[in-house]
Amino acid sequence: PETLPCPVILEPGFRFGKGVTTHLVLRALKNRAERYAELDAMGPGARAEHDAAIAELREKLGFGTPAKTAVQIKLPGLPKLGSDAEWYQGFSAGAGSMREACAAALISAGVEIIGETK
């Protein structure tokens, strides 16, 4: 179609309203692909310099650091001994340590685990 028949959201960062020309959408996608290729081609020093310049600009514009989205998750509890739950069959003693490793990985990624007591 010549224009978009409905709004389109292309993540990350593109939101096009109904009626926008498809030529504009394709041009924006091409520009983004070229920009990502430029960023990927940068060496570590150039990338660090680029990131520092972006951070400085964000600070000047009053944006500061990007807000981190708070993510929370509740892990399922372990079964009690004597449970007759189907998934409990074949349950090994290592499940507790696997659950702890899973929780540690989530916490290191910035995910808050709800209901954990330590």
Residue span of the structural domain in which 51 resides: 8-60
Whether 15 is in a domain gets the answer: yes
Q: Which residues are CB-neighbours of 113 under 8 A, at least 6 positions away?
A: 72, 73, 74, 75, 103, 106, 107
Give the pLDDT confidence score for residue 88 in this predicted structure.
54
Q: Are residues 85 and 51 in the same domain?
A: no
Residue 34 confidence class, pLDDT cut points 50, 70, 90: very high
Q: Report whether the peptide linkage leading into residue 12 is cis, meaning its omega lies within 30 degrees of zero.
A: yes
Q: Which residues are CB-neighbours of 106 under 8 A, at least 6 positions away?
A: 73, 113
Q: Are residues 56 and 27 in the same domain?
A: yes
What pTM does this model have? 0.45
Segment 31-49 shows an average pLDDT of 90
CB 103 within 8 A of CB 116: yes
Token digits of residue 86: 């189907």
Q: Are residues 54 and 75 in the same domain?
A: no
